[in-house]
Amino acid sequence: MKRPRTLRGQLTFFFASSVLGTLLLYGALVTAVLATGEWLEHRADPRLGLTEGIFDEALQALGAMFLSIPFAVVGSLALGGRLADRALAPLREASDRVRVARASELDLRLPVRGTSDEWDTLASTLNELLADARASFERIRSFTADAAHELRTPLTVILGETEVSLRRDRAPAEYRRTLEVVLDETRRLTHLVDELLQLARADAGARVLEAEPVDLFLLAKGALQRTEQHLAARSRSLTLELQGNPTTVQGSPVLLSHVLDNLLSNALRHARQRIRVEVRATDAGVQVTVGDDGPGVDPAFQARLFQRFARADPSRTGEGTGLGLALSRTIAEAHGGTLDYARSDGESRFTFRLPKPGAADGPPPLGAHASAGRTTP
């Protein structure tokens, strides 16, 4: 099987072939010019044929050309090899850097010489790709560490409670208490795994491809009804308000409902007497505000409010997984929207904005006939 020629060999061969081809072409042209000139001279004066042969000078030039060919080949190969080595120097440096780079750190940057040639363009493009990969790797490593920490806590509680209960025989009430703790932690674990799964799907943006016309007012009404049922189960009383009109956007009803549930769940934990949801169409799109009259977010914590696993409670033992707001913002961005927090008029407000649907989105879905104005579900 014929072995492929190396890139250096190809460049050297190309350079030597070019030099040899140029030499042959130049020699052929010189020989042809000399031969033509001598032929014209003999034709004009036939007596010249008695003293010298026709094409003598041309044959001498042709002989000199063939004698110089071996020297030209050797010289062109040597010079071509040197030029090829110089041209391939950035590739060798890049190869050395890749060889010593560590995949776990991705601390790799290819050399850019500042010549604006093809190699600089390729190296700059690859450096941008490596920078993106480095940032993604750091996010994944941080997310994995946080997820492992969050998963470890309920598993430790379940393991500890079970081991303590099995050390000796206990009364039925003690077994019941242990099972209740295990059930609570298992539910928390299940909720955390579900949030992680939703977050991974939202990051991929795969489900947003199934966008369809969605009435945010109907979604908000359904979310408030679920919140009301949750309050009734806990024998807790809060005033729930819904303001706005039927407003259609293009998106995934499942994911958008998840955002509303997350925001209402967050408001439920902090509200003192009232939770307010407002759905409003603006010039830029649609805006959903979920407000509560709770104490608000600590200003020192606001910068980390939407970070994954970030919670104001440093002991990390409160309700929630620390993923709800991060997941909601990811879903909003996957829909081309935003999610922000602000404190205004004694109210904590999470504002969820979505872009205006295009003209091709079609009419609102059937059933979007909820009454407009202020509503208390």
Sequential DSSP letters for 223-268: HHHHHHHHHHHTT---EEEEEE---EEEE-HHHHHHHHHHHHHHHH
Q: What is the pLDDT of residues 186-212, one digit of tens each?
A: 887 887 787 777 777 766 654 455 678
What band does 368 get if pLDDT is binned at 50, 70 and 90?
very low
Rounded-to-integer distance, Cα 333 and Cα 354, Å: 9
Rounded-to-integer distance, Cα 352 and Cα 244, Å: 14
Which pLDDT belongs to residue 317? 46
Which pLDDT belongs to residue 360? 41
Check pLDDT > 60 for residue 83.
yes
Q: What is the pTM of this model?
A: 0.54
Range 296-315 average pLDDT: 74
Q: How far is CA 364 from CA 41, 243, 357, in A?
A: 97, 19, 11
Mean pLDDT (the chain, rounded): 79
* Rounded CA Rg of the chain: 39
What band does 50 get if pLDDT is binned at 50, 70 and 90?
low
